[in-house]
Chains A and B, each alone.
Chain A
């Protein structure tokens, strides 16, 4: 099933959104992921070669593991040429790829892999486990300028049994190793890289870009374009797109103009919500829509009055009309936030948790807890002071600024007065997360906040957000503490049974939804525009978008 959306299904999704606030966001997701028929249009006569022109807005260097620039879409373009041992499927779960099989021992310290036989590098040499072991050593020995060394930090040794079998031995149990390392680290050829002594100083040319991936980079014009040619001998089958040209644009406005005039066939970056309908209305453009794991949320300092009182936090949570924010600021192109943190499109989501909007209940909660408006100015008081706070947000994120405005409006309805302060990103970060170290405390009352996708994509990182600071909550920005949460986090990291891990995660989501260490408002959806008359089989990987090798392989070769 593809995540492609034609105009009809997008509208169907919107109609559903109109019946707010009863419609949960999962309905939109379902409409998008399941109801949507597979690709429309774009029938390509057999035998003709398919050429796709894509746009990005920044140069990505020579696109090898040491020269690509951005995490997105740089890493995604890199992985068109290289493969990892595992590959995320469309719901974002790691599946065997270069490794035909991955086995893990009971205490999560040994991952054994068996390679697919007969895989060759672009230059015809065979891939063996010696390349795998070499890759790990190489990344660890050349740790600067590479994120892959961080992924492999816990690897003590790679024991090679024969050409196709090897075992990763880890220093600490790691339940997330498949996601964070096996599905992330590109395997590089030993015969090419052993002569590259210091990759951060090496002058790379295209010749280094030998991988096992479905595409070869055959031309790179700095600051202008990349040309990829399909690898017809790819082990999962020849790609469906024969040539991919990636054009580097100077800015967003140029990209938006180019897709409208047909100079490009797809944008390898998310498009803003207000452009979705406009572009979709234009033939032959279509939109691919799907879940992203970035977040927009309210943080408050839960260690001080009045936010240390769970009643106040619950009232704030009830006062938030998430559907209204999704419809107003994102024009429906976002998913209503689960108060339990994990995205409804994520395999670890606990379906019992739903967001409720009930300002009346919120008001009576505050009323009963003694937060009264004794002087009749419309603002409640706590400890003799008015409940009047500043919401800080970072001004360059204009959608977040709009969310802050709506939040202020919704808080006013329960007698909490707030003013929105838009400050520089640095100032905002220093207030919420001084020195990027939670031990430094917090300098804010209420802040709009958001985490990037990796924090949520791997649910095993959840303890970092919600356990108390000494126990390992190094992303716990709100000063929240709960003993049961700390205990659950401890067992989560060492539990080897995936079903049991999911049960623990389910319970943690329940506690978060009751205790509200923060109020999760929404997850923006990813939206990508493409020309369906050129190519339309784009695969939306949950949390990753359409820029991946899966999009360019024939549907039968996708996991």
Chain B
């Protein structure tokens, strides 16, 4: 009796502590994401210069006029960082939305018809998951050519597999719930059941997957742009790194103001979304 009671209290305490930790992490994530999103939204007012305008000599070191110096054609790097948030976040969010759309569709259909159609679809998902990811991304991006839209599509069509799996397992359990069975036995058409009873109940889980996908997509966008497979003229953090590499900033002291800031920003953005996703999942995840 006492022993069980002790154990119960201990578990409660760990659970409490972990939930407090997770909400603390979640809060940190929200603050980071909030800061970056407001920087992106307020970019024209925050940035000291127009990032597409040549405002000073090229390759300047940091000074009061240009806190992060200038790039290889004399554009202000700080302004580039602030405006870069727009591209990085847009690509992250839109690509994640594309991924979620595909993922939800596949997950719901595969979960609702688990036998033949579902298993065929899930083998497709498995294939996407085992494909060597970055090489495939590079090949696709090189094949489709450079533009913001292509970057979004390429990332979107490659990261939908994980959300698809998560959602399918949720749908599998939903379809055997009593109210769903009841609806079906009363002759409700599949389409109606899916839209009325299944999809709305995957929404919470989808939100968690979405935020995680944003975090991934931001990293991938940066990787593509750094490799020169994004649109090198779009101001994003990845393309800033691409130009730093092209003009050999890695060999000179300029890495401190040209390589480090975009690197840190990419890390922060990805981390911010990852923390939010972690904390969301802690709350939503029914611990299947």
List the interface of chain A (C-beta within 8 A of B): 252-253, 256-257, 272, 274-275, 278, 328-329, 331, 395-396, 398, 401-402, 405-406, 409, 420, 422-424, 427
Asked if A423 and B58 make an inter-chain contact with CB atoms under 8 angstroms apart, the answer reads: no
Q: Write 14 A-B pairs (CB below 8 A) sorted by A numbering.
A: A252-B248, A253-B250, A256-B248, A274-B72, A274-B247, A328-B73, A395-B146, A395-B232, A398-B232, A398-B247, A401-B232, A405-B73, A422-B231, A422-B232
- For A253, what are the chain B residues with a Cβ–Cβ distance below 8 Å? 248, 250-251
B residues 225-248 touching A (CB-CB < 8 Å): 228, 231-233, 243, 246-248
A398 touches B243 (CB 8 A): yes
Which residues of the other chain, A, contact B232 by a CB distance below 8 angstroms? 395, 398, 401, 422
Q: Give, as a whole number of angstroms, the nearest-CB distance from A354 to chain B.
A: 25
Is B73 a contact of A331 with CB atoms below 8 Å? no
Could you say which of A275, A329, A406 contacts B248, with CB atoms under 8 Å apart?
Answer: A275
Tell me if B's interface is mostly helix, strand, loop or mixed. loop
Known: A398-B232, A420-B233, A422-B146. A331 touches B74 (CB 8 A): no
Report A-chain residues with C-beta under 8 Å of the C-beta of B251: 253, 256-257, 275
Whole-angstrom distance between the alpha carbons of A140 and B27 in the complex? 77
Could you say which residues of chain B place their CB within 8 Å of the CB of A420? Answer: 233
For the complex, is B59 an interface residue (Cβ under 8 Å from A)?
yes
B145 within 8 A of A: yes
Q: Evaluate whether A328 and B248 lie within 8 angstroms (CB atoms) in the complex, with A420-B233, A423-B146, A424-B142 already known.
A: no
Nearest Cβ on chain B to A232's Cβ, whole angstroms: 40
Partner of A405, one of B228, B233, B247, B248: B233
Contact pick for B145, options A272, A275, A424, CB 8 Å = A424
- Nearest-CB residue, chain A, relative to B147: A421
8 A Cβ contacts from B241-272 to A: 243, 246-248, 250-252
Give the dominant DSSP class at A's interface: helix
Q: How far is the CB of A527 from chain B (nearest CB, A)?
A: 14
* Contact between A402 and B231, CB atoms less than 8 A apart: no
B197 at the interface (CB under 8 A from A): no
Question: Can you list the 6 inter-chain pairs with the closest CB atoms, starting with the nearest?
Answer: A398-B246, A328-B73, A274-B247, A256-B251, A402-B73, A422-B232
Instruction: For residue A85, give the distance in angstroms from its CB to the closest CB of chain B.
Output: 41
B66 at the interface (CB under 8 A from A): no
Q: Does B54 contact A (CB under 8 A)?
A: yes
Residue of A nearest to B228 (CB): A395
How many Å lie between the Cα of A374 and that of B54 in the bound state? 29
Minimum CB–CB distance from A251 to chain B (whole Å) comes to 12
Distance of A252 Cα from B243 Cα, bound (Å): 16
Using known A-B contacts A272-B247, A398-B243, A422-B231, determine if residue A329 contacts B73 with beta carbons closer than 8 Å: yes
Q: Kindly state the separation between the CA atoms of A278 and B251 in the bound complex, as whole angstroms.
A: 10
Question: How far apart are B193's CB and chain A's nearest CB, in angstroms?
Answer: 48
Given contacts A257-B251, A396-B228, 18 further A-B contacts (CB under 8 A): A253-B250, A256-B248, A272-B248, A274-B72, A275-B251, A328-B58, A328-B73, A328-B74, A329-B73, A331-B59, A395-B228, A398-B232, A398-B243, A398-B247, A402-B72, A406-B73, A422-B233, A423-B146
The closest CB in chain A to the CB of B247 belongs to A274
Nearest CB on B from A428, distance (A): 11
Contact, CB under 8 Å: B145 / A423: yes
Interface members, chain B 50-104 (any A CB < 8 Å): 54, 58-59, 72-74
**Roughly how many angstroms separate A422 CA and B145 CA in the complex, as a whole number?**
9
B83 to chain A minimum Cβ distance, whole angstroms, is: 16
Residues of A within 8 A of B231 (CB): 422
List residues of chain B with CB within 8 A of the CB of A396: 228
A253 to chain B: closest residue by CB = B251
A409 to B50, CA, bound (A): 14
In the complex, A384 Cα to B200 Cα: how many Å?
Answer: 52
Provide the residues of chain B in CB contact with A256, threshold 8 Å. Answer: 248, 251
When distances are taken between beta carbons in the complex, the residues of chain A under 8 Å from B247 are 272, 274, 398
B142: A residues at CB distance < 8 A: 424
Nearest A residue to B229, CB-CB: A395
How many Å lie between the Cα of A376 and that of B191 in the bound state?
53
Question: Which residues of A have CB within 8 Å of B243?
Answer: 398
Shortest CB-to-CB span from B61 to chain A, Å, is 12
Docked Cα-Cα span, A253 to B255, in Å, equals: 14
Question: Chain A nearest CB: distance from B220 CB in Å?
Answer: 19
**Once the chains are docked, how many angstroms separate the CA of A402 from the CA of B246?**
11
Nearest CB on A from B258, distance (A): 11
List, in ascending order, chain A residues with CB within 8 A of B248's CB.
Answer: 252-253, 256, 272, 274-275
Q: How far is the CA of A406 from the CA of B54 in the complex (A)?
A: 9
Nearest residue (CB) in B for A274 is B247
Q: How far is the CA of A329 from the CA of B57 in the complex (A)?
A: 10
Cβ–Cβ < 8 Å partners of A329 in chain B:
72-73
CA distance A412 to B40 in the complex (A): 27
Q: How far is the CB of A182 from chain B (nearest CB, A)?
A: 40
Which A residue's beta carbon lies closest to that of B250? A253
Nearest to A271 among chain B residues (CB) is B248
In the bound complex, what is the Cα–Cα distance between A329 and B145 (angstroms)?
25
Residue of B nearest to A398 (CB): B246
Residues of A within 8 A of B54 (CB): 328, 406, 409
